[in-house]
Amino acid sequence: MAFLKYSLIRLALFAPLFALFLYLQLGVLLAALCAGMMSFAISFLFFQRQRDAATATLHHRFSGKAKPLRSAGEVADAEAEDRMVDANPDIAVHTDARPKDS
């Protein structure tokens, strides 16, 4: 949530600056470049706490310590597979084996 919040702050800074630079007729590419640099500088100077929280969130997500994100369908499939394996202990499941080509 912190990453989304920080991204929205950056977007809220970028959009009006981009519109202002377009209004000043700098051209689309130069307006985007200037707005991007100014929004970066403003967020870097004034939104350190939000940036640090977003960084901590990303670090936790990609460090390998976070729980994997699974959809409701994936959870239901995993539970169904577990029930089938528990109900049929004589069947071996090899999830790491590659299928043989015909």
Dist CA 72 CA 44 (whole Å): 38
Token pair listed for 29: 């590419």
pTM of full prediction above 0.75: no
Whose tokens are 């029930």? That residue is: 83
Residue 66 carries which DSSP code? S
Per-residue pLDDT tens for 8-21?
999 999 999 999 99
Nearest to 21 by CA among 8, 11, 12, 33: 33
**41-95 pLDDT per residue, tens:** 999 999 999 999 999 988 988 887 777 777 888 888 888 888 888 888 887 767 6
> Residue 57 in contact with residue 3, Cβ under 8 Å?
yes
Separation CA 18–CA 33 (nearest Å): 9
